[in-house]
Amino acid sequence: MLVAALAALAAVLAVVVAALIFRKVGRATDDGEPDGPTAGHAGAMLSALFLLVFAIAIVVPWTTADAARVNTGSESHAIAEAYWAAGGLPSPAAGQIQGELREYVRFVAEREWPMMRRGHLSSEGWTRLDSIRARVDGLKVEGDDAKDAQADVLEKLGDASAARRQRGLDASASPPSGLLELTAVTGALVVLFPFMAGARPRRLAILPMIATAALVGLGVFVTYDIARVFDGPLAVQPEAFTAVMQEFQRIPAGG
């Protein structure tokens, strides 16, 4: 932030120095009109800056939400594959592990998802998943088929753990520092600039200003509203996990 502030200060000083130099050499003319070249140039630049910052503030959460949606699909798919593979384990471990996987998916979809709106995962979710992995890893199995099933379950649980870790990063993700504030500031400048330049709209001429202010305000609100991947209008929903719960019903139970 300090570097950004210094850069802004340097730009302001450059404008002041340029204005003084051109006035000294006689190449400058007075410009105090609201529709003069100074106001026109500054207004265009402010509008361009606002649009640039606004676009970044929209695109970053949008792409993060898309990536998070894909990742939750990968995690739920890994859990489903682990459930399938667990059916090849010896009884009664197969049924127990499949039951724990069902409970884990239900926990994520129903209890953990609301927590992610606040930007973090539940430690209980990690405890549940790690417990399943430890139980499978500690099984004493005999026969190639059972050993293959154990290896497959551990592999898929490893994939689910990696996807879960990424889900935690997605939940805590936010736009770059200062971006939302810069969006609000540039939006306010776009709305107030005509008045700062000396324009005094009267009667119906004020209507376009009101419409512009309303739309800019709505745009700034949207950038704040979609900042969290698992909250707001772009929020990733737990459809992938609810779909897996339905898929469990058609997968043969082990044991």
Question: How do residues 136-190 score in pLDDT, each as one tens digit?
Answer: 988 888 888 888 989 999 999 999 999 999 999 998 888 888 888 888 988 888 8
What's the pLDDT at 77?
Answer: 93
Asked if 149 contacts 89 with a C-beta cutoff of 8 angstroms, the reply is yes
What's the pLDDT at 79?
Answer: 94
Question: In the numeric block, which tokens belong to residue 123?
Answer: 């430690």
What's the pLDDT at 15?
Answer: 47
Taking phi first (over 0 means left), then psi (-120 to 50 degrees means alpha), and beta for anything else, what does residue 203 get? left
Put simply, whether the predicted model's pTM sits higher than 0.85 gets the answer no
Asked if 240 contacts 76 with a C-beta cutoff of 8 angstroms, the reply is yes
Asked if 181 contacts 53 with a C-beta cutoff of 8 angstroms, the reply is no
What's the pLDDT at 199?
Answer: 66
Per-residue burial over 2-35, b if 16 or more Cβ lie within 10 Å, else e, is eeeeeeeeeeeeeeeeeeeeeeeeeeeeeeeebe
The span from the CA of 168 to the CA of 116, in Å, is 8
The span from the CA of 138 to the CA of 52, in Å, is 55
The span from the CA of 16 to the CA of 22, in Å, is 10
Asked if 116 contacts 164 with a C-beta cutoff of 8 angstroms, the reply is no
- Please give the angle made by the CA atoms of 190, 3 and 50, to the nearest 5 degrees: 15
Q: Dihedral of CA 240/236/234/112: which sign?
A: positive
Asked if 136 contacts 152 with a C-beta cutoff of 8 angstroms, the reply is no
* Short-list 64, 98, 66, 56, CA closest to 81: 98
What's the pLDDT at 167?
Answer: 92
Asked if 124 contacts 107 with a C-beta cutoff of 8 angstroms, the reply is yes
Q: Dihedral of CA 245/248/254/255: which sign?
A: positive
In this structure, how many other beta carbons lie within 10 angstroms of the beta carbon of residue 254? 22
What's the pLDDT at 151?
Answer: 93
Pick out the chain residues at pLDDT < 70: 1-43, 197-199, 252-255
What's the pLDDT at 197?
Answer: 67
Q: Give the domain ranges of the chain.
A: 35-248
